[in-house]
Amino acid sequence: MCCFFLAPCLVLLAVLLLSSGADALQVIDGSVTVVQGDTAILPCKLRLTDSTEDLIQITWQRRTREKPSNDNFITVGPSQETRFVNGRDDRFKYIGNFNDKNGTLQLSNVALKDEGSYTCIFTLFPSGNQKTEIPLKVTVPPFTNVKENLPTLGTEEVLFATCTAAGSKPPAEVRWLTGALGDKVRTTTNSIQYDNGTTTTVSSLFGVPTREISGQWVQCVISGDFLTKEISLPFTIQVYFSPTEVNISLISEDTFECVAEANPKAKYNWSRSGQPLLESAVKVEGAKLQLLSLTSGLNGLYRCEASNPHGSKHSQLYVHVASGTCSTAWTLFGLLVSFNVIGAAVWGLSKSGYFKKRYHLVSKDSKNGTNSQREILQEKDLNCLSRGSQLTAVESRNG
């Protein structure tokens, strides 16, 4: 009768012992997420509670993008010497301690091909193997840029720029912040996913290329869970056009300046029709032309050309310098002194315009062929004592 109950008791005792042994063994692990190029720590440690199990070997297996079949690649024995199986990869380093039953691995310079599942196996005596899987997830930050489409002035909608977040994992979110532009611009977003798990996202900015919209500031913002903070790429909308009407202005007694609206800014070139510029008589600095000495040798037609990559336009300036005026003035001045009426005579001649000369800039409209004339600055006093000549005419023509 006792034997009848003995067998079930032994079975129950064995179950309790096995259950106690299982509770005594615990593999500590954790999932790992790392940015491509960084270093990953694959944690694996065996916790033994009230157990006399002996650790024989630690084995690592992997199943990755590069190696989809689960295979052994590292073993560690009591001597703590790392042995590579199926090919050496020095990016892996055993940083655990065999005696502490710690099988932790370090993987440097992580690549997308390393993403997958890593299995840590402890071989114990007498119970056998204890193992756990450690998922490794690799994120890839995007390559970002804003590319301008070089739009020119027009009335139809065109592409202003594209903002790209290339090769990210997981996919990035790309959007435009357009501020006060409102419905003057619109955006579209498209994405392409590649076999390696990365995605390229492109957002495009469209609008009508007007002068009013040129110079407006917008932002392309790129975000994603894998980014610690958003990436902001500022961009200034540019609308390009060739130089408009070229204007030549008198900015001082002997200096002219050539001005034209253009984007990008125009470059200026002064030349003289049929003759070279006299370096001893004129000075050119960018858009400015300075007459160093008012002599008849300066007489002639001068041309200022404004140009940029989208085109060019020019205006012409005719200069005529007449001599002899000062000698006449001095003769008259001496006679006036002899009559003791210096003050009254000088005042009278000044009011009559004898010692003053008005400069005029005559512009010809290149579209309708009409002429218009306007005074440049105010009346200029010519200092005959120092110059001995007089600039009598200035003419400007656009073309």
Calculate what percentage of the chain has a pLDDT beyond 70: 73
Mean pLDDT lowest for which of 8-12, 69-73, 137-141, 255-259? 8-12
H-helix or E-strand containing 54? strand 54-64
Nearest CA-CA partner of 112 in 172, 37, 173, 215: 37
Using 50, 70 and 90 to split pLDDT, how confident is the model at 16? very low
- pLDDT, position 274: 87
H-helix or E-strand containing 22? helix 2-24
Instruction: Quick: pLDDT tens for 337-388.
Output: 333 333 333 334 444 443 333 333 433 333 333 333 333 332 333 333 333 3
Supply 39's token pair.
């270093």
> By the 8 A CB rule, do 294 and 248 touch?
no
| 42/30 Cα distance (integer angstroms) | 8
Greater model confidence, 156 or 279: 156
Nearest CA-CA partner of 235 in 309, 142, 149, 141: 149
- pLDDT, position 325: 46
Distance between start and end Cα atoms, the chain: 127
For the chain, what is the mean pLDDT?
79
Using 50, 70 and 90 to split pLDDT, how confident is the model at 393? very low
Query: Which of 265-279, 320-334, 337-351 has maximum average pLDDT?
Result: 265-279
- pLDDT, position 338: 34
Judge whether residue 122 has pLDDT over 90.
yes
Mean pLDDT lowest for which of 19-23, 89-93, 162-166? 19-23
- pLDDT, position 50: 60
What structural domains and CATH numbers belong to the chain? 21-139 (2.60.40.10), 143-236 (2.60.40.10), 247-398 (2.60.40.10)
- pLDDT, position 164: 98
| 150/171 Cα distance (integer angstroms) | 28
- Mean pLDDT along residues 227-237: 94
Judge whether residue 396 has pLDDT over 90.
no
- Mean pLDDT along residues 155-174: 97
- pLDDT, position 304: 96
Nearest CA-CA partner of 83 in 63, 92, 300, 68: 92
Instruction: Quick: pLDDT tens for 185-209.
Output: 999 999 999 999 999 999 999 999 9
Largest separation between any pair of C-alpha atoms in the chain: 166
| 313/245 Cα distance (integer angstroms) | 7
Nearest CA-CA partner of 237 in 156, 161, 303, 132: 161
- pLDDT, position 322: 76
- pLDDT, position 144: 97
Query: Which of 16-20, 53-57, 265-269, 293-297 has maximum average pLDDT?
Result: 265-269
Using 50, 70 and 90 to split pLDDT, how confident is the model at 321? confident
Judge whether residue 333 has pLDDT over 50.
no
- Mean pLDDT along residues 143-165: 97
